[in-house]
A and B are shown apart, each in its own frame.
Chain A
């Protein structure tokens, strides 16, 4: 997957501002010869419990972002979220919640800043196994 530097910067800023809570949002862009993320849209983490270890996007907020993206000729390509103080690998709960087709960007953050970021998606063919994807910044 490719991502515009500005979009990645926006994601990092959101994840750092929200620390030590998990932040989340949607990555929007185009799919032509691979995926290119052109913008990131922040979403509220509406999880009712401990937001340091869980996130949840309100379904109707998802809908509004998706329709907004389509109005710009773009589509929702995936989801980003932060992992405060833990590596950017999907947790068991992340994997359970991964939706086929989407790309998931996980940003590990600490009080010192962004530690690492990695992208994942479910293996093709209905598998529930996550595989790591490359991320090219353009």
Chain B
């Protein structure tokens, strides 16, 4: 499936300034792997050492948080957009 991945401002410095990257993937995990294979310095920004998505990074497929879907196993459809969005929170 051909999908697009949206990168927020702070992560674009690790992806040659791109805000959108196109990849071929069947699941969210595959898409993120393709992205981080292309831009290896993004890997530690998005994933922990054990391969989990960092707690302050939100991953959405279209408008749905993958935490409420099947996580990185979430299946993709042609034309889907994956949004990587920083968690903006505090106290």
Contacts and interface: CB of A to CB of B under 8 A. Distances in A.
Question: Which one of B19, B56, B86 has the highest number of Cβ atoms from chain A below 10 Å of its Cβ?
Answer: B86
Instruction: Name A's interface SS.
Output: mixed
B2 interface: no
Chain A contact residues (Cβ within 8 angstroms of B): what range?
20 to 34
Interface residues of B, number: 21
Interface in A19-62: 22, 24, 26, 43, 47, 53-57, 59-60, 62
B9 A97 contact: no
Question: Which one of A59, A70, A76, A81 has the highest number of Cβ atoms from chain B below 10 Å of its Cβ?
Answer: A59
A91 interface: yes
B90 interface: yes
Contact of B60 (A59, A99, A101): A59
B87 to A, nearest CB: 7
B85 A59 contact: yes
Contact of B10 (A24, A43, A55, A99): A99
Interface of A: 22, 24, 26, 43, 47, 53-57, 59-60, 62-63, 66, 70, 75-76, 79, 81, 90-91, 93-94, 97-102, 104, 126
Interface of B: 6, 8-10, 13, 19, 44-45, 56, 58, 60, 63, 65, 83, 85-91
